[in-house]
């Protein structure tokens, strides 16, 4: 399976005061961190599913060099890698919504001969940290077909977009957003798309 994933990380810096302690070392935190799983890494992630590991543990196994760069390790170690996807699926679709303080979305569409999956979050304030994890699942097998992770410090906007050429089948995208509120507390939201059939023209 060929996976081509591009990450769009866009940020708007705002003049703010009272940034929480998480953003104290602002100079060292102004960096993008992006992980794009290749075929071998996707295979390893599928093998690690169901073992009760945290997202931090899985990333440390699959991509230790990338994981070593992250400043959010403690939070990732608290986050289980095995997700209650079935519960999220009950609420499908959760494609795009907006409230007073933020708007967010997730999409899965045909893009040429590929599948395009994307998720974003926009806030009306500057957050010390936002990360978005996006997974493409095979609906029939429950296996991961593609995976990417992106994060940004001191920002009010983050978008992650991927392009994948998986085997013919039915797929859906699932995403988790985690960000730091102005109070310094973490907030998490899960999004998922409806199923989409895909025919790989190279098969």
Residue 47 is inside which H or E element, if any? helix 39-48
Structure tokens at 172: 């859906």
Q: Residues near 114 by Cβ (< 8 Å), separated by ≥ 6?
A: 4, 163, 164, 165
Q: What is the CATH number of the domain that holds 78?
A: 2.60.40.2150
- Is the residue at 182 inside a domain? yes
- Is the residue at 29 inside a domain? yes
- Is the residue at 137 inside a domain? yes
More confident: 182 or 22? 182
- Is the residue at 49 inside a domain? yes
- Is the residue at 60 inside a domain? yes
Per the DSSP assignment, residues forming a β-bridge with 135 are 147, 174
More confident: 174 or 90? 174
Q: Among all chains, which residue has been given the structure tokens 């609420």?
A: 91
- Alpha helices, DSSP H, located in 70-196: 73-78, 85-89
- Is the residue at 203 inside a domain? no
CA–CA gap between residue 165 and residue 114 (Å, rounded): 5
- Tell me what percent of the residues of the chain surpass a pLDDT of 90: 52
More confident: 49 or 194? 49
CA–CA gap between residue 202 and residue 165 (Å, rounded): 9
For 174-181, what is the mean pLDDT? 92
CA–CA gap between residue 32 and residue 53 (Å, rounded): 25
Domain count, the chain: 1
Whether residue 154 contacts residue 30, with contact meaning beta carbons closer than 8 Å, is answered with yes
- Is the residue at 75 inside a domain? yes
For 180-193, what is the mean pLDDT? 88
For residue 61, pLDDT over 50 is answered with yes
Burial per residue of 135-152, b for 16 or more beta-carbon CB atoms within 10 angstroms, e otherwise: bbbbeeeebbbbbbbbbb
Q: pTM of this prediction?
A: 0.78
CA–CA gap between residue 152 and residue 187 (Å, rounded): 15
Other C-beta atoms closer than 10 Å to the C-beta of 121 total 25
CB hemisphere CA count around 184 (13 angstroms): 8
Per the structure, the complete domain to which residue 114 belongs is given by 2-198
């Amino acid at each position: 399976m060929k996976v081509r994933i591009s990450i769009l990380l866009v940020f708007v810096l705002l003049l703010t005061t009272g940034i929480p302690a998480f953003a104290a070392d602002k100079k060292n935190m102004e960096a993008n961190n992006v992980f794009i799983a290749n075929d071998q890494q996707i295979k390893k992630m599928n093998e690690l599913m169901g073992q009760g590991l945290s997202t931090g543990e899985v990333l440390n196994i699959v991509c230790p060099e990338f994981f070593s760069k992250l400043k959010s390790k403690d939070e990732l170690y608290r986050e289980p890698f095995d997700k209650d996807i079935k519960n999220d699926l009950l609420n499908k679709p959760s494609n795009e919504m907006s409230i007073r303080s933020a708007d967010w979305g997730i999409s899965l569409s045909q893009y040429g001969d590929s599948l395009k999956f994307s998720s974003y979050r926009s806030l009306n304030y500057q957050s010390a940290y936002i990360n978005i994890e996006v997974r493409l699942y095979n609906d029939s097998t429950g296996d991961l077909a593609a995976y990417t992770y992106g994060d940004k410090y001191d920002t009010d906007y983050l978008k992650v977009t991927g392009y994948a050429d998986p085997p013919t089948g039915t797929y859906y995208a699932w995403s988790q957003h985690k960000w730091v509120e102005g109070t310094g507390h973490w907030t998490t939201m899960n999004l998922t798309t409806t199923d989409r059939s895909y025919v790989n023209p190279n098969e």
